[in-house]
Amino acid sequence: QAEMAMYHTKKNGRNNMTFYDPSIQQADTRRMVMEDNLHRAVANDEFELYYQPKIHVKTGKIAAVEALIRWNHPVLGQISPAEFIPIAEETGLIVPMSEWVLHTACMQNKRWQEEGMSPMRVAVNISSVEFGEDDFVTKVVNILEETKLSPHYLELEITESVAIKNVGSVIEKLDALKQVGVYISIDDFGSGYSSLSYIKKLPIDALKVDRSFIQDLKANQTEETIVKAIITIAKSLQLDVVAEGVEEQEQVQILRKERCDEIQGYYFSKPLPVSEFEQKYESIERHAMSS
Ligand code: C2E
Ligand code: MG
Ligand code: MG
Ligand code: MG
């Protein structure tokens, strides 16, 4: 309801006369509560990581799991990252939050390997604020050492906007991470404004095709042509291609035909809490191998 109120305010803009509206008041309050409580969220153990598999198309095995943060607020309930990450970025609280995310994801992946699960990458989303920190690379290296996770099993997902906002240092930082052995992908590829000549200069491993291109993907339609073109570009740059937001079998079939490397989406699995992922990963792979 609070989200609705915020939408309502924006949509009506300045052309409408605004009267006192308790629902707007409520949206403001929600934001203030979140801003205030974000400080304590790490210490209070209110964050949780969900994990969503990326399926290796050729084998049907889980190639990676993406860590997606959830905030279990004692009063407001579960809050989506789309709502609190912008607040965390504005307040600088993204920095301690992100350290917690990286550490937890690496530790969890190491634990899974020790428990005998076949090794897979863990993918962590990196915001531009985090990536822009001078000591970002050092932090990543330290966390890898602390958790003893082999760098090859850590993937960082950065968006095109991250790469663009940090033009000066981005290549330097990515090069350093690459040296260490970390796998790097461009998230939401195609949704931003980066030019291909710029992408070409980045030392990255994969492009993750934005969900907007996958959403209406049907055989013999414009979307198929676009996705096909993106895959061709990625291949010519010797990059892996991942599709996000895949929900239907027809999309899987098209992506397989076009030689997409990895597929992620509700069709195979939504993001799951640790215990549920542990219960389901074998059946997710069985389903992937037979589809
Ligand atoms: P993203 O990295 O592009 O993640 C994909 C989002 O799409 C996730 O939403 C995921 O739950 C959702 N999704 C996955 N498969 C499907 C599908 O088949 N259909 C549909 N409709 N949606 C699907 P979520 O978990 O709410 O995360 C939203 C965004 O918040 C992420 O977008 C990412 O940018 C950001 N985020 C999440 N966790 C973190 C984090 O730990 N750190 C940072 N900096 N950002 C994060
Ligand atoms: Mg992502
Ligand atoms: Mg994405
Ligand atoms: Mg996205």
Nearest alpha carbon to residue 122 among 147, 96, 97: 147
Residue of 42, 49, 125 best suited for mutating to test ligand 1, as the one with most atoms within 8 Å of CB: 125
What pLDDT, on the 0 to 100 scale, is given for residue 19?
52
Question: Does the Cβ of 81 fall within 6 Å of ligand 1?
Answer: yes
Which atom of ligand 1 approaches the CA of 188 most closely?
A: 3
Mean pLDDT over all residues of the chain?
89
Q: For the purposes of burial, counting CB atoms within 10 Å of the CB of 290, is it exposed (0-12), middle (13-18) or buried (19 or more)?
A: exposed
125: three-class secondary structure by DSSP: strand
What pLDDT, on the 0 to 100 scale, is given for residue 257?
95
Distance from residue 16's CA to the centre of ligand 2 (Å): 37
Q: Of the bound ligands, which one is closest to the alpha carbon of residue 85?
A: 1
Q: Which of 130-134, 191-195, 248-252 has the lowest mean pLDDT?
A: 191-195
User: How far apart, in whole angstroms, are the C-alpha atoms of residue 124 and residue 64?
Assistant: 10
Q: How would residue 23 be classed by pLDDT, with cut points 50, 70 and 90?
A: low
pTM of the model: 0.91
Which atom of ligand 1 approaches the CA of 267 most closely?
A: 18
Question: Does the Cβ of 210 fall within 6 Å of ligand 1?
Answer: no
User: How far apart, in whole angstroms, are the C-alpha atoms of residue 173 and residue 62?
Assistant: 28
Q: How far apart are the first and last CA of the chain?
A: 39
Which atom of ligand 1 approaches the CA of 210 most closely?
A: 3
Distance from residue 26's CA to the centre of ligand 3 (Å): 30
Question: Does the Cβ of 79 fall within 6 Å of ligand 1?
Answer: no
Residue of 68, 124, 189 best suited for mutating to test ligand 1, as the one with most atoms within 8 Å of CB: 68
Residue with tokens 């997409």: 260
As a whole number, mean pLDDT of residues 277-289 equals: 96
Q: Are 155 and 184 in contact (CB under 8 A)?
A: yes
Q: Is the pLDDT of residue 218 over 50?
A: yes
Residues in a beta bridge with 188: none
**Residue identifier of the C-alpha nearest atom 8 of ligand 1:** 68
Q: Is the pLDDT of residue 167 over 70?
A: no
b vs e for 217-231, b when ≥16 Cβ sit within 10 Å of the residue's Cβ? beeeeebbebbbebb
Question: Does the Cβ of 271 fall within 6 Å of ligand 1?
Answer: yes
Q: Of the bound ligands, which one is closest to the alpha carbon of residue 208?
A: 3
Q: How would residue 12 be classed by pLDDT, with cut points 50, 70 and 90?
A: very low
What pLDDT, on the 0 to 100 scale, is given for residue 21?
57
As a whole number, mean pLDDT of residues 120-128 equals: 96
CA distances from 126 to 64, 189, 218, 221, 244 (A): 16, 15, 31, 33, 17
Q: Is the pLDDT of residue 11 over 70?
A: no
Residues whose beta carbons lie less than 5 angstroms from ion ligand 4: 188
Question: Does the Cβ of 155 fall within 6 Å of ligand 1?
Answer: no
Q: Is the pLDDT of residue 4 over 60?
A: no
Higher pLDDT, 194 or 264: 264
Q: Is the pLDDT of residue 153 over 70?
A: yes
**Residue identifier of the C-alpha nearest atom 27 of ligand 1:** 81
Question: Does the Cβ of 53 fall within 6 Å of ligand 1?
Answer: no
Q: How would residue 175 be classed by pLDDT, with cut points 50, 70 and 90?
A: very high
Instruction: Please name the residues in contact with 108: beta carbons below 8 A apart, sequence gap of 6 or more.
Output: 49, 51, 67, 122, 274
Which amino acid, one-letter code, is at 174?
A: L
What pLDDT, on the 0 to 100 scale, is given for residue 10?
40
CA distances from 135 to 130, 169, 246 (A): 9, 12, 35
